């Protein structure tokens, strides 16, 4: 596979491994709504924020959406769109070293994106998907980057028209679109998109219980439609001349209906004889005046659950009331998304106006994405309990889209947002979320209140690194912090539940029971007395893994005084902290 090279690449390909794990602190005063809602807004450079969140969320995120700076060169927006903010400039200087002086704008952008994308990938579930907005400035480079990092994923690029009028560009082409790149994990299954009003209007008939349906021709049209070749699908159906009753068997005096192609030759039905016989009551005959012949249609329901009920081979599989067992919702028919997206709901101008309304008439942020764009992605992903990550949060559109969709479809999606600029994170991202959670007034002369969506989020900041420059555990590190880190480093999976210093058994994963003996540093208390050493006595008192556990017990502690023979006999592996924690 061709890969992209650029100045500085060597310095960044493995850089994600060197990024320190930091503590994450929640700031109640800057949070809003229900803090237990499970949503996070992290203020910090996403490289460090993602690394800090990895031990808690690796392999748990169903959808990532990012809208990184497009590298337009514009430095006058509320954020810097030239990979030239002081934070990123200094980061590139440190990571790339001397070569950094020779980097072009594009090299810098690629250096910035590579390790961040590399970390993002580790958050995805096997059935998850990554989505990124990007425009022509970096599109061709970005596609290579995504292909390299998300190897084995299915990559799709969707042009998105977000400016119907076209931009007032300097060049001779007026840009009206950008792109959405999607990288779908190997087990990703698209849930499709809800039908638009126009698509729903097609279902213009209603059955006796009021369920909407449309009629489709039972004759096969085009392609494999030759009745002479598919004789078993080219059988007559009989109609009672006095009613719309149909029969598969010939009845004296009934009208014979044969599938005919438009040229009058023998065609074939879409359904086989057995299916026609089974569902004959659902078929609808109609008289075509033009060729003075009868034809037959089948029903396609708007509510696909209604259709399943009718056409199931075993209707007893379905609930009497046609509603989803788990959610109680009627199952709506969906449509396959097109490879090209457009429509006023995706317009950046409209998104800007909507954001201005939220902020009472002042424009806080240039070019926010539309809530509808993110919701289109959320629909595709489907899962109403999905965890969604956006590590270039900007004005917080992704958080808003999640809260709004949850409200409308009773979903329980959660979000994690990361924003680097302090002024944006606090005054725009957090403020917008707070306003939409609590409700706001659109501003202007007449009051126009908008109801709150409910929910909430915790505002978090990044604290010190877990390990200092000598690899020692920092004084501020608590038992649950270190437990999450140790468990992730040992198993590659997030800790199953927040650890409690009352138990040294911090979790089980893949035939490993992981233990941590750790009391945060207490001045003047020897390590052994603090309980940080695996002694013969401590070994005897380790909590037992659940019954039936046959794997190994891995014990992390600062020291060990148990003989290697006894460790072997008890299937215990001792790992010294901090030196034997992988990845520090």
Ligand X SMILES: C[S@@+](CC[C@H](N)C(=O)[O-])C[C@H]1O[C@@H](n2cnc3c(N)ncnc32)[C@H](O)[C@@H]1O
Kindly list the residues in this chain that would bind ligand X in the complex (CB under 6 A).
45-46, 67, 69, 79, 365, 368-369, 392, 394-395, 397, 418-421, 424
Nearer to ligand X, 395 or 504 (CB): 395
Nearer to ligand X, 259 or 352 (CB): 352
Indicate the pairing of strand 505-509 with strand 61-66: unpaired
Measured CA to CA, the distance from residue 297 to residue 219 in angstroms comes to 8
Nearest approach, Cβ of residue 227 and ligand X (Å)? 55
Nearest approach, Cβ of residue 174 and ligand X (Å)? 21
Query: Can the peptide bond before residue 355 be classed as cis, meaning omega within 30 degrees of 0?
Result: no
Nearest approach, Cβ of residue 47 and ligand X (Å)? 6
HEC profile for 25-93? Answer: EEEEEEEEECHHHCCEEEECCHHHHHHHHHHHHCCCEEEEEECCCCCCCECCCCCCECCCCHHHHHHHH
Q: Which residue is nearest to ligand X (CB)?
A: 394
Nearest approach, Cβ of residue 311 and ligand X (Å)? 42
Nearer to ligand X, 97 or 422 (CB): 422
Nearer to ligand X, 52 or 218 (CB): 52
Nearest approach, Cβ of residue 67 and ligand X (Å)? 3
Structure-token pair, residue 91: 């980061």
- Interior angle at CA 301, CA 299 and CA 305, nearest 5: 130
Structure-token pair, residue 342: 């457009």
Burial call 386-423: b when 16+ CB within 10 Å, e when fewer = bbbbbbbbbbbbbbbbbbbbbeebebebbbbbbbbbee
Nearer to ligand X, 119 or 477 (CB): 119
Nearest approach, Cβ of residue 347 and ligand X (Å)? 13
Measured CA to CA, the distance from residue 512 to residue 237 in angstroms comes to 65
Q: Which has the closest alpha carbon to 137: 114, 182, 169?
A: 169
The total of other beta-carbon atoms located within 10 Å of residue 495's CB is 20
- Interior angle at CA 464, CA 458 and CA 466, nearest 5: 105
Nearer to ligand X, 39 or 395 (CB): 395
Give the total residue count for the chain.
Answer: 584
Nearer to ligand X, 419 or 490 (CB): 419
Nearest approach, Cβ of residue 469 and ligand X (Å)? 23
Structure-token pair, residue 74: 């514009």
Nearer to ligand X, 239 or 369 (CB): 369
């Amino acid at each position: 596979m061709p890969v992209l090279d650029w100045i500085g690449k060597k310095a960044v390909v493995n850089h994600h491994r060197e990024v320190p794990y930091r503590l994450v602190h929640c700031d109640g005063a800057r949070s809003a709504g229900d803090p237990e809602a499970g949503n996070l807004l992290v203020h910090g450079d996403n490289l460090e924020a993602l690394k800090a969140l990895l031990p808690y969320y690796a392999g748990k995120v169903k959808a990532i959406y990012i809208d990184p700076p497009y590298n337009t060169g514009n430095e006058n927006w509320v954020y810097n769109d030239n990979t030239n903010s002081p934070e990123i400039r200094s980061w590139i200087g440190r990571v790339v070293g001397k070569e950094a002086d020779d980097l072009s704008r594009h090299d810098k952008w690629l250096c910035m994106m590579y390790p961040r994308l590399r970390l993002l990938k580790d958050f995805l579930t096997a059935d998850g998907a990554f989505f990124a907005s990007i425009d022509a400035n970096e599109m061709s480079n970005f596609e290579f980057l995504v292909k390299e990092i998300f190897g084995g994923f299915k990559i799709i690029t969707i042009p998105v028209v977000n400016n119907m009028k076209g931009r007032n560009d300097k060049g001779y082409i007026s840009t009206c679109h950008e792109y959405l790149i999607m990288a779908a994990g190997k087990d990703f299954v698209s849930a499709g998109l809800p039908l638009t009003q126009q698509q729903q209007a097609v279902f213009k008939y209603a059955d006796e219980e009021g369920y909407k349906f449309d009629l489709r021709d039972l004759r096969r049209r085009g392609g494999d439609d030759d009745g002479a070749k598919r004789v078993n699908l080219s059988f007559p159906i009989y109609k009672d001349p006095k009613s719309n009753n149909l029969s598969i068997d010939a009845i004296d005096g009934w009208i014979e209906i044969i599938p005919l192609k438009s040229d009058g030759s023998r065609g074939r039905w879409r359904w086989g004889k057995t299916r026609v016989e089974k569902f004959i009551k659902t078929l609808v005959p109609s008289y075509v005046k033009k060729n003075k012949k009868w034809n037959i249609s089948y029903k396609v329901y708007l509510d696909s659950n209604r259709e399943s009920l009718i056409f199931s081979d075993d209707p007893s599989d379905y609930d009497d009331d046609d509603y989803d067992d788990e959610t109680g919702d009627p199952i709506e028919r969906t449509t396959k998304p097109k490879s090209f997206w457009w429509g006023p709901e995706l317009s950046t101008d409209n998104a800007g106006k909507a954001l201005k309304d939220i902020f009472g008439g002042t424009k806080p942020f240039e070019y926010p994405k539309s809530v509808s764009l993110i919701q289109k992605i959320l629909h595709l992903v489907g899962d109403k309990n999905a965890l969604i990550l956006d590590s270039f949060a900007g004005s917080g559109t992704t958080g808003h889209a999640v809260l709004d969709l949850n409200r409308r479809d009773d979903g329980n999606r959660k979000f994690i947002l990361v924003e680097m600029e302090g002024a944006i994170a606090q005054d725009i991202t957090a403020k917008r979320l707070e306003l939409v959670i609590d409700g706001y007034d659109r501003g202007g002369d007449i009051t126009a209140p908008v109801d709150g969506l409910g929910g909430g989020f915790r505002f978090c900041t990044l604290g010190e690194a877990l390990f200092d420059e000598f690899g020692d555990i920092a004084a501020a590190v608590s038992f649950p912090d270190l437990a999450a880190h140790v468990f992730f480093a040992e198993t590659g999976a997030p800790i199953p539940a927040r650890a409690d210093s009352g138990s040294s058994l911090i979790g089980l994963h893949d035939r490993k029971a992981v233990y941590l003996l750790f009391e945060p540093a207490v001045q003047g208390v020897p390590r052994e007395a603090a309980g940080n050493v695996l002694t013969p006595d401590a070994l005897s008192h380790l909590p037992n893994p659940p019954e039936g556990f046959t794997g190994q017990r891995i014990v992390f502690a600062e020291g060990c005084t148990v003989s290697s023979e006894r460790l072997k006999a008890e299937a215990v592996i001792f790992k010294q902290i901090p030196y034997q924690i992988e990845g520090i």
